[in-house]
Amino acid sequence: MEKEDIDAVVEINRENFTTDAWSRSAFEREFSLNYSHKYVIEVDGNVIGYFILWIIYDTATLMNFAIKKSYWGMGYGKKLLSFLVDNFKDKVSSISLDVRKSNIRAIRLYKSLGFKIINERPKYYSDGENAYQMILETLQKAYTGEH
């Protein structure tokens, strides 16, 4: 993700996360955080999705991830998330995220890549909905034997 992608990213974020949408300045702030890793996916030169991942020590947290609605169901979400896992699995011991309990589409996608639900956080979102905390424990952890 480059700074010139912010307009497209803000728009995709707004159409997908109404009440939970990030402000433009929140995306801009990510560029000053050395633990923030940001990627976009493009089709025909246009940004149609993005993710923001924080890596602090050996733990990765997926902070924000979305695909433009008109491109849903075409495999782009899986492609982008697979890239994330492949690119970062050797650098961290786990990748975690929070997802709305009702977000069946995202939960299925995460499960298909090996994420597991480890916790339910009551009233995590501003409208009172619970979150599932999901985690992917990477091979890095299995190889080192650290728990």
Ligand X SMILES: CC(C)(COP(=O)(O)OP(=O)(O)OC[C@H]1O[C@@H](n2cnc3c(N)ncnc32)[C@H](O)[C@@H]1OP(=O)(O)O)[C@@H](O)C(=O)NCCC(=O)NCCS
The footprint of ligand X (CB under 6 A) covers: 16, 65-67, 72-78, 97, 99, 103-106, 108-109, 112
Contact 120, 107 (CB under 8 A): no
CB contact at 8 A, 41 and 72 = no
Residue nearest ligand X, CB atom distance: 77
Whole-number minimum distance, CB 147 to ligand X, in Å? 26
Nearer to ligand X, 73 or 122 (CB): 73
**Number of other residues whose CB lies within 10 A of the CB of residue 85:** 15
Q: Cβ closer to ligand X: 49 or 92?
A: 49
Closest approach of ligand X to the CB of residue 143, in Å? 27
In angstroms, what is the minimal distance from the CB of 98 to ligand X? 7
Beta bridge pairs of residue 38: 52
The DSSP element (H or E) to which 82 belongs, if any, is: helix 76-88
Of residues 93 and 110, the one with the C-beta less far from ligand X = 110
How would you class 60 by CB atoms within 10 Å of its CB: exposed for 0-12, middle for 13-18, buried for 19 or more?
buried
Least distance to ligand X, CB of residue 41, Å: 9
Give 18 or 25: the residue with its C-beta nearer to ligand X.
18
Token pair listed for 57: 């020590």
Min dist CB 17 to ligand X, Å, is 6
Strands (E), the chain: 36-43, 46-56, 59-67, 94-100, 116-121, 131-137
| Cβ nearer to ligand X, comparing 34 with 126 | 126
